[in-house]
Copies of this chain bind each other. A is one copy, B any other.
Amino acid sequence: SACSSLQESEKKVDYAQAPSAAEMQRVSPAFAHYTNDVVIGDLWQRPGLTPRDRSLITITTLITQQQAVELPYHFGRALDNGVTPEELSEIITHLAFYTGWGHSTAAAAILSDVFKERGIDNSDLPAVPANPLPIDRESERNRERLVEDNFGVVSPGVVDYTTNVLFRDLWIRPGLAPRDRSLVTVSALVAAGQAEQVTFHLNRAMDSGLTQAEAQETLTQLAFYAGWPRVFSAMPVFKSVFESRGLES
């Protein structure tokens, strides 16, 4: 019967659950200590970034690294820290292009449950915005020419979608401020270990208002969530960008 066979299935472990405090303690009192006293008690309290920015960086990292276990908690925390449901919707959409369709699809399934629990529903948001942001024509022309010159013969399909779907459509959606969209993009690149793509997007982020101090502290948040090595590989690129902009340190 259903019930007798369910006794079996009850034994199945659902690994998609985060460990409880008692389970963390059973496995590693040290890990529980670092989580409570260093990450939650110290890192998240640092003044260099708002809790909202830390949430943007953290959920981006979790989506990019497919860390489903922590996502329900951090989606909720992001909402509590002032990230709006529409912004979460945009981040999921944006990261489909910047980390792969499957990562965002998996994250959408989780966010859907978080939304249900909180009675949130984005269904009425427009799929195509009525009032897209303006395009900076000169910078877009430069970007397009550079990509066309370098890669037009390598993959016309990629170059075409990059222009028409990414930079003249996705990037001008008004649901996420350009500075936040760039912060999400830079965080995804560092989390994926793609320091070689950071220069363009970090410059774009700083052109859109991300300060050098915020960029510096973004690395600090990423060190814990994406891992130290990802950040150490990205630091030389951040350094070059800071130097090329002539900023103080």
Picked from B17, B90, B105, B193, the residue with its CB within 8 Å of the CB of A193 is: B193
Picked from B2, B28, B48, B173, the residue with its CB within 8 Å of the CB of A93 is: B28
Q: Which B residues are CB-close (under 8 A) to A131?
A: none
Interface 1/0 per residue, A1-25 and B, CB below 8 Å: 1111111011011111111000111
Q: Give the secondary structure class of A's interface.
A: helix
CA distance A150 to B249 in the complex (A): 13
Interface residues of A in 204-221 (CB under 8 A from B): 216-217, 219-220
A35 at interface (Cβ–Cβ under 8 A)?
Answer: yes
Q: Which B residues are CB-close (under 8 A) to A122?
A: 25-29
CA distance A123 to B31 in the complex (A): 11
Q: How many copies does the complex hold?
A: 3
Interface pair A220/B108, CB less than 8 Å apart: no
Q: Which B residues are CB-close (under 8 A) to A151?
A: 232, 235, 239
A130 at interface (Cβ–Cβ under 8 A)?
Answer: no
Interface pair B92/A173, CB less than 8 Å apart: no
Number of interface residues, chain A, beta carbon within 8 A = 118
Q: Which B residues are CB-close (under 8 A) to A25?
A: 122-123
Interface 1/0 per residue, A233-249 and B, CB below 8 Å: 10110110010000001
Question: How far in angstroms is the closest Cβ of chain B from A33?
Answer: 4
Interface pair A97/B227, CB less than 8 Å apart: yes
CA distance A224 to B123 in the complex (A): 24
A89-B123 contact given A65-B66, A193-B193, CB 8 Å threshold: no
Closest to A198 in B: B229
